[in-house]
Amino acid sequence: MSPFLSTAITITLSLHALAMALGVLRLLRGPAAQDRVLALDFLFTVAMLTMLVLAIRYDSSMYFEPALLMALCGFVSSLAAAKFLLRGEVIE
């Protein structure tokens, strides 16, 4: 791995950490419940992207399945939370 790529990966990971910190700020501050659900969905997306960047960093293909599962779980949990906000129950 060239030093250029490893520097870029370091910068990318720190920017992802900054983005997650801003997402946590919205999660804690969000005035309504839907803001918090949106922030959690965003945090899931950024964590999944971090997994993919770590796969390049450690040159391992083992990170693919956790990233896929994270994307799926983020979708299902956001949908369940939004459905709960909409109706008061998840499965009718």
Binds other proteins (CB under 8 A): choice among 58, 85, 89, 91? 85
Structure tokens at 76: 């299902």
C-beta closer to other proteins: residue 8 or 89: 8
Q: Is 78 among the residues that bind other proteins (CB under 8 A)? A: yes
Q: Mask 5-44, x = binds other proteins (CB under 8 A)?
A: x-xxx-xx--xx-xxx-xx-xx-----xxxx-xxx-xx--
Size of the site for other proteins (CB under 8 A): 49
Instruction: For the CB of residue 89, give the shortest distance to other proteins in the complex, in Å.
Output: 13
Helices 33-57/64-87 angle, 10° precision: 180
Relative orientation angle of helices 3-29 and 33-57, to the nearest 10 degrees:
170
